[in-house]
Amino acid sequence: MTFRNLETADLAGKRVLVRVDFNVPMDGGKITDDTRLRSALPTLHYLSTQGAKIVLLAHFDRPKGQRVPSMSLRPVVEPLSALLEQPVTFADDCVGPQAAKVVDGLENGGVALLENVRFHPGEEANDPAFAAQLAALGDLYVDDAFSAAHRAHASTEGVARLLPAYPGLAMQRELDALDAALGKPQKPVLGIVGGAKVSSKLDLLNNLVTKLDRLAIGGGMANTFLHAQGHDIGGSLCEKDLADTACEIMAKAKASGCELLLPVDVVVAKTVAPGVDADTRDLSQVQPDDLILDAGPKTVARLLAAMDASKTLIWNGPLGVFEVPPFDEATVAAAKHAASLAKSGKLIAVAGGGDTVSALNHAGVAADFTFVSTAGGAFLEWMEGKTLPGVAALET
């Protein structure tokens, strides 16, 4: 994929539509986590210093094409202004006379935030007429919202077809990291896929076994594979109806030359609660009333050795019920080892997905990974090998 480089664009005096992801968590009209605002700052600072007139497009929540006052972006204005250290003007609509008036009033380097694009049904329908109304407010388009790139909406895909389109600095960094992990990676490449259910990650597993040298499977989904191999998993979470599917994935991995790393020992308990008595068992020792809640030390040691033998790691999903200690030990040990290798330059370590980000933060090592994506659905669809409309629309 090739994209226009924002840093080669003539921006002075130009109206630049910037798609950002300001779908931030709020409580009582107050932002409780401003990570997504902060991620947009490098692009916004760059555009401002280049003299662009910055027009921000964003969505908040799911108003389904209706004007819902509780889903207004107005509460974002003050915290964004504080982070940017400059005023941010707000428009009560994202198209029409109100939006045009605010945009026309911008000075070079100024910033305006337009109201929730999802207040209009044309946004999620990717309606060409609505996209044209948005495009009329800008001279250039910049997409800095990779997390919304898997949606073919008017503000993520439609507008990009109507104006000269560029990835923002955060988007470009994400695309570069993803290309380094799966596009043109340094081999050998190791994947870790965890989480509760195989059913939610079928496309992911089927794609990765054709791309990776090794794939470690953990979390509840590993139980389905162990069950398919004939192991007794006690009362553990398992999708027994997907046993044949698990066998097909194992056969596909073998045919593709991808080594699957499944647990060889497990940590079990009788119930899921903090600090309960937990036991480590080999697979042949699992009791009928055991719940498998984490990977065991032999499994972890094998995974760490696989990291040592790899050049690139891509990770999605925890290895156990990491939210409930002591069932966080395998995830934490793997995260710390990967982070140490990445920090020393021995491993390109890319991770993403909500639970994965939480797990790395829990282990205190997210900052040491090469790249951690907070994009959720877009990251997952990219790992599944799917085309992301918002990225494809930026290609030159």
Catalytic residue among 36, 53, 151, 214: 36
Q: Say what the pTM is.
A: 0.91
Would residue 197 show up in a list of annotated catalytic residues for this protein?
A: yes
Question: Is 377 tagged catalytic?
Answer: yes
Question: Counting beta carbons within 10 angstroms of the beta carbon of residue 74, is it exposed (0 to 12), middle (13 to 18) or buried (19 or more)?
Answer: middle
Same domain, 203 and 311: yes
Instruction: State the pLDDT confidence band at 332, using cuts at 50, 70 and 90.
Output: very high
The tokens of 363 are what?
A: 């282990």
Domain count, the chain: 2
**CA 321 – CA 8 distance, rounded (Å):** 47
Do 165 and 195 have their domain in common? no
- Which of the following is catalytic: 109, 376, 377, 385? 377
Tell me: pLDDT of 71 over 80.
yes
CA 107 to chain centre: 34
List pLDDT tens digits, range 85-121: 999 999 999 999 999 999 999 999 999 999 999 999 9
Q: Per-residue pLDDT averaged across 188-209, rounded?
A: 95
Amino acid, res. 144: D
Selected catalytic residue, list 354, 376, 385, 386:
354
Residue 389 lies in a domain: no
Q: Residue 131 — pLDDT band, cuts 50, 70, 90?
A: very high
Q: Is residue 376 over pLDDT 90?
A: no
Q: Is 79 helix (H, G, I), strand (E, B) or coil?
A: helix
Q: Is residue 392 part of a domain?
A: no
End-to-end CA distance of the chain: 8
Residue 200's closest CA among 328, 317, 319? 317
Q: Supply the range of the domain harboring residue 275.
A: 185-383
Same domain assignment for residues 341 and 317: yes
Q: Are residues 17 and 90 in the same domain?
A: yes
pLDDT digits (tens, 9 = 90+) for 199-255: 999 999 999 999 999 999 999 999 999 999 999 999 999 999 999 999 999 999 999
What is the Cα–Cα distance from 4 to 212, expressed in whole angstroms? 30
Specify the DSSP class assigned to residue 52: -
Are 18 and 91 contained in the same domain?
yes
82 with 209, same domain: the answer is no
**Do both 167 and 202 map to the same domain?**
no
Contact 118, 59 (CB under 8 A): yes
Residue 388 lies in a domain: no
